[in-house]
Structure 1
Protein backbone atom coordinates (compact mmCIF):
# COMPACT_ATOMS: atom_id res chain seq x y z
CA UNK A 1 0.00 0.00 0.00
CA UNK A 2 2.82 2.35 0.96
CA UNK A 3 4.65 1.49 -2.26
CA UNK A 4 1.53 2.24 -4.31
CA UNK A 5 1.16 5.64 -2.67
CA UNK A 6 4.83 6.43 -3.35
CA UNK A 7 4.38 5.45 -7.01
CA UNK A 8 1.31 7.66 -7.30
CA UNK A 9 3.19 10.55 -5.71
CA UNK A 10 6.12 10.08 -8.07
CA UNK A 11 3.80 9.98 -11.08
CA UNK A 12 2.08 13.19 -10.01
CA UNK A 13 5.43 14.89 -9.35
CA UNK A 14 6.66 13.95 -12.82
CA UNK A 15 3.42 15.14 -14.40
CA UNK A 16 3.55 18.55 -12.71
CA UNK A 17 7.30 18.90 -13.31
CA UNK A 18 6.73 18.35 -17.02
CA UNK A 19 4.00 21.02 -17.09
CA UNK A 20 6.39 23.48 -15.48
CA UNK A 21 9.43 22.59 -17.59
CA UNK A 22 7.43 22.78 -20.83
CA UNK A 23 6.01 26.19 -19.93
CA UNK A 24 2.42 24.98 -19.81
CA UNK A 25 2.51 26.25 -16.24
CA UNK A 26 4.56 29.43 -16.59
CA UNK A 27 6.54 31.21 -13.85
CA UNK A 28 4.07 32.81 -11.48
CA UNK A 29 1.14 30.72 -12.68
CA UNK A 30 -1.01 29.07 -10.06
CA UNK A 31 -1.19 25.28 -9.97
CA UNK A 32 -4.55 23.53 -10.19
CA UNK A 33 -6.23 23.26 -6.78
CA UNK A 34 -5.89 20.17 -4.61
CA UNK A 35 -9.46 19.18 -5.41
CA UNK A 36 -8.82 19.51 -9.13
CA UNK A 37 -5.67 17.36 -8.98
CA UNK A 38 -7.50 14.75 -6.88
CA UNK A 39 -10.32 14.55 -9.41
CA UNK A 40 -8.07 14.57 -12.48
CA UNK A 41 -5.61 11.94 -11.26
CA UNK A 42 -7.75 9.81 -8.98
CA UNK A 43 -5.40 10.16 -6.03
CA UNK A 44 -5.82 11.04 -2.38
CA UNK A 45 -5.26 14.44 -0.81
CA UNK A 46 -2.21 13.01 0.93
CA UNK A 47 -0.64 12.09 -2.40
CA UNK A 48 -1.28 15.58 -3.78
CA UNK A 49 0.22 17.27 -0.74
CA UNK A 50 3.28 15.03 -0.76
CA UNK A 51 3.82 15.76 -4.45
CA UNK A 52 3.62 19.51 -3.80
CA UNK A 53 6.09 19.21 -0.91
CA UNK A 54 8.56 17.38 -3.15
CA UNK A 55 8.28 20.05 -5.84
CA UNK A 56 8.78 22.73 -3.20
CA UNK A 57 11.96 20.96 -2.08
CA UNK A 58 13.18 20.99 -5.69
CA UNK A 59 12.60 24.72 -5.82
CA UNK A 60 9.93 24.47 -8.48
CA UNK A 61 6.99 25.70 -6.42
CA UNK A 62 6.22 28.58 -4.14
CA UNK A 63 3.26 28.14 -1.82
CA UNK A 64 1.50 31.04 -0.19
CA UNK A 65 -0.90 30.28 2.64
CA UNK A 66 -4.49 30.84 1.61
CA UNK A 67 -3.56 31.53 -2.02
CA UNK A 68 -2.20 28.24 -3.34
CA UNK A 69 0.98 27.03 -5.04
CA UNK A 70 2.71 28.86 -7.87
CA UNK A 71 5.32 27.76 -10.40
CA UNK A 72 8.97 28.72 -9.96
CA UNK A 73 8.58 32.29 -8.79
CA UNK A 74 6.04 34.03 -6.56
CA UNK A 75 3.33 35.96 -8.39
CA UNK A 76 3.80 39.69 -8.57
CA UNK A 77 2.16 41.84 -5.97
CA UNK A 78 -1.21 43.02 -7.32
CA UNK A 79 -0.17 46.61 -6.69
CA UNK A 80 2.72 46.28 -9.16
CA UNK A 81 2.38 47.07 -12.84
CA UNK A 82 1.47 44.03 -14.96
CA UNK A 83 4.49 42.32 -16.48
CA UNK A 84 2.82 41.73 -19.83
CA UNK A 85 3.04 38.49 -21.79
CA UNK A 86 4.51 35.38 -20.21
CA UNK A 87 6.22 33.21 -22.85
CA UNK A 88 4.75 29.71 -23.03
CA UNK A 89 5.39 28.32 -26.51
CA UNK A 90 8.72 27.79 -28.24
CA UNK A 91 7.90 30.61 -30.66
CA UNK A 92 7.11 33.02 -27.84
CA UNK A 93 10.33 32.14 -26.04
CA UNK A 94 12.33 32.74 -29.20
CA UNK A 95 10.56 36.06 -29.78
CA UNK A 96 11.36 37.13 -26.22
CA UNK A 97 15.03 36.27 -26.69
CA UNK A 98 15.12 38.26 -29.93
CA UNK A 99 13.61 41.25 -28.11
CA UNK A 100 16.16 40.86 -25.31
CA UNK A 101 19.04 40.91 -27.79
CA UNK A 102 18.08 44.41 -28.86
CA UNK A 103 17.64 45.72 -25.31
CA UNK A 104 20.41 43.92 -23.47
CA UNK A 105 23.16 44.27 -26.07
CA UNK A 106 22.88 48.03 -25.69
CA UNK A 107 22.56 47.71 -21.92
CA UNK A 108 25.85 45.79 -21.77
CA UNK A 109 27.58 48.46 -23.88
CA UNK A 110 26.22 51.23 -21.67
CA UNK A 111 27.23 49.34 -18.51
CA UNK A 112 30.79 49.08 -19.89
CA UNK A 113 30.83 52.84 -20.45
CA UNK A 114 29.36 53.78 -17.07
CA UNK A 115 30.54 50.93 -14.80
CA UNK A 116 29.51 52.52 -11.48
CA UNK A 117 31.02 51.46 -8.13
CA UNK A 118 29.54 48.21 -6.84
CA UNK A 119 28.19 47.08 -10.20
CA UNK A 120 30.81 44.39 -10.74
CA UNK A 121 30.32 43.10 -7.19
CA UNK A 122 26.60 42.61 -7.90
CA UNK A 123 27.42 40.70 -11.09
CA UNK A 124 30.02 38.58 -9.30
CA UNK A 125 27.56 37.69 -6.55
CA UNK A 126 24.97 36.58 -9.11
CA UNK A 127 27.61 34.62 -11.06
CA UNK A 128 28.83 32.76 -7.98
CA UNK A 129 25.28 31.94 -6.89
CA UNK A 130 24.44 30.75 -10.41
CA UNK A 131 27.37 28.33 -10.44
CA UNK A 132 26.31 26.98 -7.04
CA UNK A 133 22.64 26.56 -7.95
CA UNK A 134 22.75 23.30 -9.92
CA UNK A 135 19.90 21.00 -8.91
CA UNK A 136 17.57 23.82 -7.89
CA UNK A 137 15.77 25.14 -10.96
CA UNK A 138 14.16 28.07 -9.17
CA UNK A 139 17.49 29.24 -7.74
CA UNK A 140 19.22 28.86 -11.11
CA UNK A 141 16.53 30.91 -12.78
CA UNK A 142 16.67 33.58 -10.09
CA UNK A 143 20.47 33.92 -10.22
CA UNK A 144 20.43 34.08 -14.02
CA UNK A 145 17.84 36.86 -13.86
CA UNK A 146 19.76 38.74 -11.14
CA UNK A 147 22.88 38.78 -13.31
CA UNK A 148 21.02 40.39 -16.19
CA UNK A 149 19.29 42.80 -13.82
CA UNK A 150 22.67 43.80 -12.36
CA UNK A 151 23.84 44.75 -15.84
CA UNK A 152 20.71 46.84 -16.40
CA UNK A 153 21.29 48.62 -13.09
CA UNK A 154 24.94 49.21 -14.00
CA UNK A 155 23.82 51.37 -16.93
CA UNK A 156 22.44 54.02 -14.59
CA UNK A 157 19.55 54.23 -17.04
CA UNK A 158 16.17 53.58 -15.35
CA UNK A 159 14.58 52.56 -18.64
CA UNK A 160 16.86 49.54 -18.97
CA UNK A 161 16.07 48.58 -15.38
CA UNK A 162 12.35 49.01 -15.97
CA UNK A 163 12.48 46.81 -19.09
CA UNK A 164 14.16 43.93 -17.22
CA UNK A 165 12.01 44.28 -14.11
CA UNK A 166 8.84 44.32 -16.17
CA UNK A 167 9.84 41.03 -17.81
CA UNK A 168 10.75 39.51 -14.46
CA UNK A 169 12.38 36.06 -13.95
CA UNK A 170 9.99 34.62 -16.55
CA UNK A 171 12.32 36.08 -19.20
CA UNK A 172 14.82 33.32 -18.43
CA UNK A 173 14.25 30.25 -20.59
CA UNK A 174 14.03 27.06 -18.56
CA UNK A 175 15.18 24.00 -20.52
CA UNK A 176 14.34 20.60 -19.12
CA UNK A 177 18.00 20.00 -18.21
CA UNK A 178 17.64 22.57 -15.44
CA UNK A 179 15.06 20.30 -13.82
CA UNK A 180 17.53 17.46 -13.27
CA UNK A 181 17.48 17.26 -9.47
CA UNK A 182 19.89 14.31 -9.42
CA UNK A 183 22.86 16.25 -10.75
CA UNK A 184 25.64 16.94 -8.24
CA UNK A 185 27.80 19.01 -10.62
CA UNK A 186 27.12 21.95 -12.88
CA UNK A 187 25.92 20.60 -16.23
CA UNK A 188 27.83 21.34 -19.46
CA UNK A 189 24.91 23.51 -20.56
CA UNK A 190 24.91 25.61 -17.41
CA UNK A 191 28.72 25.75 -17.52
CA UNK A 192 28.47 27.26 -20.99
CA UNK A 193 25.92 29.82 -19.80
CA UNK A 194 28.13 30.69 -16.82
CA UNK A 195 31.14 31.13 -19.10
CA UNK A 196 29.14 33.41 -21.38
CA UNK A 197 28.05 35.47 -18.38
CA UNK A 198 31.70 35.68 -17.28
CA UNK A 199 32.74 36.98 -20.71
CA UNK A 200 30.10 39.71 -20.54
CA UNK A 201 31.25 40.66 -17.05
CA UNK A 202 34.91 40.84 -18.11
CA UNK A 203 34.11 43.07 -21.08
CA UNK A 204 32.13 45.43 -18.84
CA UNK A 205 34.98 45.47 -16.31
CA UNK A 206 37.40 46.37 -19.10
CA UNK A 207 35.16 49.21 -20.23
CA UNK A 208 35.00 47.79 -23.75
CA UNK A 209 31.56 48.76 -25.04
CA UNK A 210 31.81 46.94 -28.36
CA UNK A 211 32.98 43.65 -26.87
CA UNK A 212 30.42 43.83 -24.05
CA UNK A 213 27.63 44.31 -26.58
CA UNK A 214 28.96 41.50 -28.78
CA UNK A 215 29.28 39.10 -25.84
CA UNK A 216 25.71 39.78 -24.76
CA UNK A 217 24.43 39.35 -28.30
CA UNK A 218 26.33 36.07 -28.67
CA UNK A 219 25.04 34.83 -25.31
CA UNK A 220 21.39 35.44 -26.20
CA UNK A 221 21.82 34.13 -29.74
CA UNK A 222 23.29 30.97 -28.20
CA UNK A 223 20.29 30.83 -25.89
CA UNK A 224 18.05 30.67 -28.96
CA UNK A 225 20.15 27.82 -30.37
CA UNK A 226 20.07 25.96 -27.04
CA UNK A 227 16.33 26.42 -26.79
CA UNK A 228 15.72 25.09 -30.29
CA UNK A 229 18.15 22.19 -29.82
CA UNK A 230 16.53 21.17 -26.55
CA UNK A 231 13.05 21.34 -28.04
CA UNK A 232 14.01 19.39 -31.15
CA UNK A 233 12.90 22.26 -33.39
CA UNK A 234 14.59 22.96 -36.71
CA UNK A 235 17.20 25.72 -36.26
CA UNK A 236 16.33 29.05 -37.82
CA UNK A 237 18.92 31.39 -39.18
CA UNK A 238 19.55 34.12 -36.64
CA UNK A 239 19.92 37.67 -37.87
Structure 2
Protein backbone atom coordinates (compact mmCIF):
# COMPACT_ATOMS: atom_id res chain seq x y z
CA UNK A 1 0.00 0.00 0.00
CA UNK A 2 1.35 3.42 -0.92
CA UNK A 3 1.93 5.80 1.97
CA UNK A 4 -0.29 8.90 1.96
CA UNK A 5 1.36 11.74 0.11
CA UNK A 6 3.81 9.50 -1.79
CA UNK A 7 4.75 10.31 -5.38
CA UNK A 8 2.26 7.88 -6.90
CA UNK A 9 -0.71 9.09 -4.84
CA UNK A 10 -3.23 10.64 -7.27
CA UNK A 11 -3.64 14.36 -6.82
CA UNK A 12 -7.12 15.78 -6.38
CA UNK A 13 -8.63 17.46 -9.45
CA UNK A 14 -8.57 20.79 -7.63
CA UNK A 15 -4.79 20.58 -7.24
CA UNK A 16 -4.40 19.58 -10.87
CA UNK A 17 -6.49 22.58 -11.94
CA UNK A 18 -4.48 24.97 -9.80
CA UNK A 19 -1.26 23.52 -11.18
CA UNK A 20 -2.51 24.05 -14.72
CA UNK A 21 -3.52 27.63 -13.83
CA UNK A 22 0.01 28.27 -12.54
CA UNK A 23 1.59 26.86 -15.70
CA UNK A 24 -0.66 28.82 -18.07
CA UNK A 25 -0.24 32.01 -16.04
CA UNK A 26 3.55 31.68 -16.18
CA UNK A 27 3.42 31.35 -19.96
CA UNK A 28 1.30 34.46 -20.25
CA UNK A 29 3.43 36.54 -17.90
CA UNK A 30 6.76 35.56 -19.44
CA UNK A 31 5.51 36.41 -22.92
CA UNK A 32 5.20 32.91 -24.38
CA UNK A 33 1.54 33.78 -24.93
CA UNK A 34 0.61 37.41 -25.56
CA UNK A 35 -2.62 39.40 -25.54
CA UNK A 36 -4.67 38.35 -28.55
CA UNK A 37 -3.09 34.90 -28.85
CA UNK A 38 -5.49 31.98 -29.03
CA UNK A 39 -4.97 29.25 -26.44
CA UNK A 40 -4.52 25.65 -27.59
CA UNK A 41 -7.69 23.57 -27.79
CA UNK A 42 -8.96 21.75 -24.72
CA UNK A 43 -7.82 18.48 -26.31
CA UNK A 44 -4.32 19.83 -26.87
CA UNK A 45 -4.04 21.07 -23.28
CA UNK A 46 -5.34 17.72 -21.99
CA UNK A 47 -2.69 15.89 -24.01
CA UNK A 48 0.19 18.18 -23.04
CA UNK A 49 -0.52 18.25 -19.30
CA UNK A 50 -2.08 14.81 -18.92
CA UNK A 51 -5.28 16.06 -17.31
CA UNK A 52 -8.98 15.57 -17.88
CA UNK A 53 -11.37 17.89 -19.71
CA UNK A 54 -12.94 18.79 -16.35
CA UNK A 55 -9.58 19.96 -15.01
CA UNK A 56 -8.91 22.01 -18.16
CA UNK A 57 -12.31 23.71 -17.95
CA UNK A 58 -11.89 24.49 -14.26
CA UNK A 59 -8.45 26.00 -14.95
CA UNK A 60 -9.75 28.09 -17.86
CA UNK A 61 -12.60 29.33 -15.68
CA UNK A 62 -10.10 30.47 -13.05
CA UNK A 63 -7.91 32.16 -15.68
CA UNK A 64 -10.97 33.97 -17.02
CA UNK A 65 -12.02 35.09 -13.53
CA UNK A 66 -8.50 36.45 -13.05
CA UNK A 67 -8.75 38.55 -16.21
CA UNK A 68 -6.05 36.65 -18.12
CA UNK A 69 -8.22 35.06 -20.80
CA UNK A 70 -11.68 35.29 -22.31
CA UNK A 71 -13.71 32.65 -24.09
CA UNK A 72 -15.50 33.59 -27.28
CA UNK A 73 -18.17 31.00 -27.91
CA UNK A 74 -17.66 29.13 -31.12
CA UNK A 75 -14.24 30.69 -31.66
CA UNK A 76 -11.96 29.75 -28.78
CA UNK A 77 -10.18 31.15 -25.72
CA UNK A 78 -7.83 34.11 -26.06
CA UNK A 79 -5.26 35.86 -23.88
CA UNK A 80 -6.49 39.32 -22.82
CA UNK A 81 -4.06 40.36 -20.08
CA UNK A 82 -1.24 39.38 -17.78
CA UNK A 83 -3.21 39.42 -14.55
CA UNK A 84 -0.71 41.84 -13.01
CA UNK A 85 -3.52 44.24 -12.20
CA UNK A 86 -6.86 43.41 -10.65
CA UNK A 87 -9.78 44.06 -12.96
CA UNK A 88 -12.80 45.77 -11.47
CA UNK A 89 -15.54 43.23 -10.93
CA UNK A 90 -18.72 42.88 -8.91
CA UNK A 91 -19.73 39.23 -8.89
CA UNK A 92 -23.34 38.21 -8.11
CA UNK A 93 -22.20 36.49 -4.92
CA UNK A 94 -20.83 39.85 -3.74
CA UNK A 95 -24.30 41.41 -3.58
CA UNK A 96 -26.25 38.73 -1.77
CA UNK A 97 -26.92 40.62 1.48
CA UNK A 98 -28.39 43.99 2.44
CA UNK A 99 -24.96 45.26 3.51
CA UNK A 100 -23.48 44.37 0.11
CA UNK A 101 -26.37 45.92 -1.83
CA UNK A 102 -25.92 49.11 0.23
CA UNK A 103 -22.25 49.19 -0.81
CA UNK A 104 -23.23 49.02 -4.49
CA UNK A 105 -25.83 51.77 -3.97
CA UNK A 106 -23.10 53.99 -2.53
CA UNK A 107 -21.08 53.41 -5.70
CA UNK A 108 -24.14 54.20 -7.83
CA UNK A 109 -24.79 57.46 -5.95
CA UNK A 110 -21.37 58.73 -6.96
CA UNK A 111 -21.62 57.47 -10.53
CA UNK A 112 -25.22 58.20 -11.42
CA UNK A 113 -25.57 61.54 -9.65
CA UNK A 114 -22.92 62.98 -11.95
CA UNK A 115 -24.37 61.11 -14.94
CA UNK A 116 -27.72 62.80 -14.35
CA UNK A 117 -26.07 66.23 -14.23
CA UNK A 118 -24.19 65.62 -17.47
CA UNK A 119 -27.33 64.23 -19.11
CA UNK A 120 -29.22 67.43 -18.26
CA UNK A 121 -26.60 69.44 -20.14
CA UNK A 122 -25.94 67.10 -23.06
CA UNK A 123 -29.10 65.10 -23.68
CA UNK A 124 -30.74 65.08 -27.10
CA UNK A 125 -34.45 64.87 -27.82
CA UNK A 126 -33.91 61.23 -28.78
CA UNK A 127 -32.32 60.60 -25.38
CA UNK A 128 -35.29 62.20 -23.68
CA UNK A 129 -37.77 60.12 -25.68
CA UNK A 130 -35.89 56.94 -24.74
CA UNK A 131 -36.04 57.84 -21.02
CA UNK A 132 -39.75 58.50 -21.23
CA UNK A 133 -40.31 55.25 -23.10
CA UNK A 134 -38.56 53.39 -20.27
CA UNK A 135 -40.78 55.22 -17.75
CA UNK A 136 -43.90 54.22 -19.71
CA UNK A 137 -42.74 50.59 -19.74
CA UNK A 138 -42.16 50.77 -16.00
CA UNK A 139 -45.71 52.12 -15.48
CA UNK A 140 -47.17 49.35 -17.65
CA UNK A 141 -45.29 46.73 -15.64
CA UNK A 142 -46.73 48.17 -12.42
CA UNK A 143 -50.30 48.23 -13.75
CA UNK A 144 -50.07 44.72 -15.17
CA UNK A 145 -48.19 43.32 -12.17
CA UNK A 146 -45.34 42.44 -14.51
CA UNK A 147 -41.58 42.51 -14.15
CA UNK A 148 -40.46 46.12 -13.75
CA UNK A 149 -36.78 45.24 -13.40
CA UNK A 150 -35.87 45.52 -17.09
CA UNK A 151 -37.49 48.95 -17.67
CA UNK A 152 -36.00 50.20 -14.39
CA UNK A 153 -32.49 49.31 -15.54
CA UNK A 154 -33.22 50.63 -19.04
CA UNK A 155 -34.19 53.98 -17.56
CA UNK A 156 -30.85 54.30 -15.76
CA UNK A 157 -29.02 53.08 -18.85
CA UNK A 158 -30.67 55.78 -20.99
CA UNK A 159 -29.40 58.44 -18.60
CA UNK A 160 -25.89 57.02 -18.96
CA UNK A 161 -26.29 57.21 -22.76
CA UNK A 162 -27.43 60.82 -22.50
CA UNK A 163 -24.13 61.84 -20.89
CA UNK A 164 -22.60 61.32 -24.37
CA UNK A 165 -19.67 59.78 -22.47
CA UNK A 166 -19.13 56.18 -23.49
CA UNK A 167 -17.44 55.29 -20.18
CA UNK A 168 -20.63 55.92 -18.19
CA UNK A 169 -22.53 53.72 -20.62
CA UNK A 170 -19.96 50.93 -20.59
CA UNK A 171 -19.79 50.81 -16.79
CA UNK A 172 -23.57 50.78 -16.44
CA UNK A 173 -23.85 48.08 -19.09
CA UNK A 174 -21.24 46.03 -17.27
CA UNK A 175 -23.07 46.35 -13.95
CA UNK A 176 -26.35 45.26 -15.55
CA UNK A 177 -29.66 44.64 -13.79
CA UNK A 178 -27.92 43.33 -10.69
CA UNK A 179 -27.42 46.97 -9.61
CA UNK A 180 -31.18 47.29 -9.05
CA UNK A 181 -31.65 46.38 -5.36
CA UNK A 182 -34.84 44.38 -5.84
CA UNK A 183 -32.95 42.11 -8.24
CA UNK A 184 -31.20 40.81 -5.11
CA UNK A 185 -33.64 41.54 -2.27
CA UNK A 186 -37.39 41.97 -1.71
CA UNK A 187 -37.16 45.75 -1.36
CA UNK A 188 -40.90 46.30 -1.15
CA UNK A 189 -40.97 44.07 1.93
CA UNK A 190 -37.94 45.89 3.31
CA UNK A 191 -39.78 49.19 2.82
CA UNK A 192 -42.80 47.80 4.67
CA UNK A 193 -45.31 48.39 1.89
CA UNK A 194 -47.02 46.63 -0.98
CA UNK A 195 -45.11 45.97 -4.18
CA UNK A 196 -47.29 48.19 -6.36
CA UNK A 197 -47.17 51.16 -3.98
CA UNK A 198 -43.41 50.78 -3.65
CA UNK A 199 -42.87 50.72 -7.41
CA UNK A 200 -45.14 53.71 -7.96
CA UNK A 201 -43.08 55.69 -5.49
CA UNK A 202 -39.89 54.62 -7.27
CA UNK A 203 -41.36 55.73 -10.59
CA UNK A 204 -42.33 59.11 -9.17
CA UNK A 205 -38.67 59.55 -8.24
CA UNK A 206 -37.77 58.60 -11.82
CA UNK A 207 -40.16 61.22 -13.16
CA UNK A 208 -38.50 63.88 -11.03
CA UNK A 209 -35.15 62.97 -12.57
CA UNK A 210 -36.50 63.10 -16.13
CA UNK A 211 -38.20 66.45 -15.54
CA UNK A 212 -34.93 67.99 -14.38
CA UNK A 213 -33.05 66.54 -17.35
CA UNK A 214 -35.76 67.77 -19.73
CA UNK A 215 -35.42 71.25 -18.23
CA UNK A 216 -31.63 71.27 -18.78
CA UNK A 217 -31.18 71.73 -15.02
CA UNK A 218 -28.06 69.80 -14.00
CA UNK A 219 -28.19 70.68 -10.31
CA UNK A 220 -31.84 69.59 -10.02
CA UNK A 221 -31.04 66.43 -11.95
CA UNK A 222 -28.15 65.59 -9.62
CA UNK A 223 -30.34 66.27 -6.58
CA UNK A 224 -33.20 64.13 -7.90
CA UNK A 225 -30.91 61.20 -8.70
CA UNK A 226 -29.13 61.44 -5.36
CA UNK A 227 -32.48 61.50 -3.55
CA UNK A 228 -33.72 58.49 -5.51
CA UNK A 229 -30.69 56.34 -4.77
CA UNK A 230 -30.23 57.60 -1.22
CA UNK A 231 -33.85 56.68 -0.44
CA UNK A 232 -33.14 53.09 -1.50
CA UNK A 233 -29.95 53.03 0.52
CA UNK A 234 -31.58 54.37 3.67
CA UNK A 235 -34.51 51.94 3.47
CA UNK A 236 -32.08 49.04 3.25
CA UNK A 237 -29.87 50.46 5.99
CA UNK A 238 -32.79 50.82 8.41
CA UNK A 239 -33.99 47.29 7.68
CA UNK A 240 -30.45 45.94 8.09
CA UNK A 241 -30.02 47.68 11.45
CA UNK A 242 -33.45 46.54 12.64
CA UNK A 243 -32.46 42.97 11.84
CA UNK A 244 -29.38 43.36 14.01
CA UNK A 245 -26.93 43.72 11.10
TM-score range (shorter-chain normalised) is 0.5 to 0.7
1:89 maps to 2:119: no
Per-residue deviation at 1:188? 1.7
The equivalent of 2:7 in structure 1 is none
Distance 1:79 1:227, change over 3 A: farther
The equivalent of 1:112 in structure 2 is 120
Distance 1:155 1:219, change over 3 A: same
Larger radius of gyration: 2
Matches within 5 A, 1:1-239: 79=72, 84-86=90-92, 87-134=95-142, 135-136=145-146, 139-174=147-182, 175-176=185-186, 187-229=196-238, 231=239, 233-234=241-242
CA distance in 2, matches of 1:189, 1:111: 26
Per-residue deviation at 1:131? 1.3
SS in 1 for 2:181: coil
CA distance in 2, matches of 1:93, 1:172: 9
Distance 1:84 1:120, change over 3 A: same
Structure of greater relative contact order (alpha carbons < 8 Å, 6+ residues apart): 1
| Matched positions, count | 151
Distance 1:224 1:148, change over 3 A: same
CA distance in 2, matches of 1:177, 1:132: 19
What RMSD over aligned residues (CA atoms) do the two structures have, in Å? 2.7
Q: Is the 8 A contact 1:101 1:221 kept in 2?
A: yes
User: Which has the larger displacement, 79-88 or 139-148?
Assistant: 79-88
Q: Is the 8 A contact 1:82 1:166 kept in 2?
A: no
CA distance in 2, matches of 1:202, 1:118: 15
Per-residue deviation at 1:157? 0.2
The equivalent of 1:65 in structure 2 is none
Per-residue deviation at 1:117? 2.9
The equivalent of 2:34 in structure 1 is none
The equivalent of 2:12 in structure 1 is none
Unaligned runs of 5+ in 1: 1-76, 180-184
**Structure 2 length normalisation: TM-score?**
0.56
Distance 1:78 1:129, change over 3 A: farther
Q: Is the 8 A contact 1:131 1:186 kept in 2?
A: no
SS in 2 for 1:118: helix
Unaligned runs of 5+ in 2: 1-69, 74-86
Per-residue deviation at 1:186? 6.9
Per-residue deviation at 1:84? 3.0
